[in-house]
């Protein structure tokens, strides 16, 4: 079977995702689609709106055939590491193509830009350091360096756009890993990636959907026209059974405890706590009564909101520098965690199983692996939103729940 890979968060799965999936299948002629999906915490350093299991059901009920988890070690990292881990999993599952959405919409521009960057790497690195010395954050310094390097050059990427940045690193990872996968891209349509408001009749950004849900106490009626029916049903079911959707404010008290009950040296051992931020964390937290207030006071020109949110996620999960650097050093996943599959997906896995060199995990009980331990710790942290006994039930589910085998009945339950 011809296979297609997509790299997703589905937070939640909306009409723009459905358009991308439909067009990707049409463009590649794929017979089976594999989604590498972030787990309980996401690339921007946020808890997922709903659990990875509910997002898996959203994916399966909207046309994905196999859903596998992107480990925490990659899912909560900058674009380069996020992309490398994702590509390693899709390559491990013998995908023929990977297709991503972008503002550019032309794969040749990605390949041309990577070639240009490879040819002028030393100059580019020098420009980055010059801008960092001026006080810019690393992402902003990288963007400014790229603009200087490509000034007056035609048909290069606009690397100020979030999906172009991710796509650039996907294509770069394919080349660096010498993968046989063929990349392709589809131009994003409708709302922009971070648009906070509803602007189109049927396409809205995940950001605007989440904002509406949080601003309206989880009322899902006004998001109905922006999401497929299975997503709407699952959002409603989640709200009914869980009570609310996940957001950072749910974890603020836990974060405050972690910071104020730690010494500066303990905080500095956590991944992404750099350059004396441990002292600023303690001082700022003492003055803050909400996560938004804390982040607003913590934010500086040097550090982006996303960078600081990821740091807070690592503080919340107690992810140490030495552990993260060790497990993510190769930029390739050590296992493939299977979350769900359709009948077509099962047939594909049976077809390729003898060729797959990375272990495929259906359950994690009895498996000893530092990278996997981080995933388990992330789920334990995510479950802290709940009261007992629900909290313990969610934690145990990480070990006991088998992959979802999709059918209509299963899609309607959490």
Three-class HEC string of 136-200 = CCHHHHHHHHHHHHCCCCCCCCCCCCHHHHHHHHHHHHHHHCCCCCEEEEEECCCCCCCCCCCCC
Residue 285 lies in a domain: yes
CB 53 within 8 A of CB 402: no
Question: Among all chains, which residue has been given the structure tokens 């390097």?
Answer: 149
Distance CA 318, CA 333 (A): 21
Q: Is 337 annotated as a binding residue?
A: no
Residue 402 lies in a domain: no
Q: Is 15 annotated as a binding residue?
A: yes
Q: Is 82 annotated as a binding residue?
A: no
The residue range of the domain holding 283 is 248-324
Q: Is 20 annotated as a binding residue?
A: yes
Q: Is 12 annotated as a binding residue?
A: yes
Please tell me the predicted confidence (pLDDT) of residue 413. Answer: 45
Residue 300 lies in a domain: yes
Extract the tokens encoding 104. 């550019």
Closest CA to 89 of 390, 355, 360: 360
Q: What is the DSSP letter of 37?
A: E
* pLDDT tier, 412 (very low <50, low <70, confident <90, very high otherwise): very low
**Stretch 223-231: mean pLDDT:** 95
Q: Is 303 annotated as a binding residue?
A: no
Distance CA 336, CA 119 (A): 34
Q: Is 174 annotated as a binding residue?
A: no
Report whether pLDDT(23) > 80: yes
Q: Is 62 annotated as a binding residue?
A: no
* pLDDT tier, 6 (very low <50, low <70, confident <90, very high otherwise): very high
Strands (E), 215-345: 336-341
Extract the tokens encoding 300. 């500086």
Q: Is 216 annotated as a binding residue?
A: no
This prediction has a pTM of 0.91
Residue 272 lies in a domain: yes
Residue 254 lies in a domain: yes
Q: Render pLDDT for 74-110 as a digit per residue (tens, 0 to 9).
A: 999 999 999 999 999 999 999 999 999 999 888 999 9
Cβ atoms within 10 A of the Cβ of 222, count? Answer: 12
Extract the tokens encoding 17. 């995702």
Closest CA to 295 of 73, 46, 72, 82: 46
* pLDDT tier, 409 (very low <50, low <70, confident <90, very high otherwise): very low
Higher pLDDT, 391 or 9: 9
Q: What is the DSSP letter of 223?
A: G
Q: Is 101 annotated as a binding residue?
A: yes
Q: Is 105 annotated as a binding residue?
A: no
Local structure of 88: helix, strand or coil: helix
State the DSSP H helix or E strand holding residue 8, giving kind and residue range, or none if neither.
strand 3-8
The least confident of 143-147, 370-374, 384-388, 402-406 is: 143-147
Structural domains counted in the chain? 1
Please tell me the predicted confidence (pLDDT) of residue 105. Answer: 86
Residue 305 lies in a domain: yes
Residue 315 lies in a domain: yes
Q: Is 258 annotated as a binding residue?
A: no
CB 114 within 8 A of CB 171: yes
Residue 341 lies in a domain: no
The least confident of 23-27, 116-120, 124-128, 188-192 is: 188-192
Q: Is 17 annotated as a binding residue?
A: yes
State the DSSP H helix or E strand holding residue 34, giving kind and residue range, or none if neither.
strand 32-38
Closest CA to 200 of 228, 226, 174: 226
């Amino acid at each position: 079977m011809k296979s297609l890979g997509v790299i997703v968060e589905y937070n939640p799965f909306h009409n723009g995702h459905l358009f991308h999936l439909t067009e990707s299948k049409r463009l590649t002629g794929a017979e089976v689609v594999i989604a590498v999906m972030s787990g309980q915490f996401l690339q921007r350093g946020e808890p997922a709106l709903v659990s990875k299991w509910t997002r898996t059901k959203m994916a399966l009920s909207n046309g994905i055939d196999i859903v596998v988890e992107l480990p925490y070690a990659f899912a909560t990292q900058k674009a380069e590491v996020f992309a490398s881990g994702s590509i390693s999993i899709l390559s491990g599952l013998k995908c023929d193509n990977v297709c991503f959405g972008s503002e550019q919409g032309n794969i040749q521009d990605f390949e041309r830009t990577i070639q240009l960057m490879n040819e002028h790497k030393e100059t580019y690195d020098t420009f980055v350091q010059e801008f960092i010395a001026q006080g810019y954050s690393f992402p902003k310094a990288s963007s400014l360096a790229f603009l200087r390097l490509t000034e007056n050059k035609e048909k290069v990427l606009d690397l100020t756009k979030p999906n172009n940045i991710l796509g650039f690193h996907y294509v770069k990872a394919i080349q660096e890993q010498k993968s046989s996968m063929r990349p392709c891209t589809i131009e994003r349509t409708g709302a922009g990636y971070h648009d906070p408001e509803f602007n189109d009749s049927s396409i809205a950004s995940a950001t605007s959907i989440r904002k509406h849900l949080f601003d309206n106490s989880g009322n899902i009626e006004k998001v109905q026209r922006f999401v497929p029916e299975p997503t709407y049903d699952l959002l409603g079911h989640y709200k009914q059974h869980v009570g609310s959707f996940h957001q950072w404010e749910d974890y603020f008290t836990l974060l405050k405890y972690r910071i104020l009950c730690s010494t500066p040296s303990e905080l500095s051992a956590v991944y992404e706590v750099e350059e004396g931020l441990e002292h600023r964390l303690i001082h700022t937290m003492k003055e803050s009564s909400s996560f938004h207030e804390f982040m607003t006071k913590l934010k500086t020109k040097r550090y982006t909101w996303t960078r600081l949110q990821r740091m807070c996620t690592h503080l919340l999960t107690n992810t140490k520098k030495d552990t993260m650097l060790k497990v993510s050093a190769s930029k390739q996943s050590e296992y493939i965690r299977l979350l769900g599959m359709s009948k077509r997906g099962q047939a594909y896995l049976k077809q390729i199983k003898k060729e797959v060199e990375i272990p495929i995990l259906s359950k994690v009980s009895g498996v000893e692996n530092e990278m996997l331990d981080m995933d388990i710790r992330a789920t334990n942290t995510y479950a802290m939103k709940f009261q007992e006994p629900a909290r313990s039930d969610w934690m145990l589910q990480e070990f006991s729940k088998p992959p979802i085998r999709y059918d209509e009945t299963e899609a309607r339950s959490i």
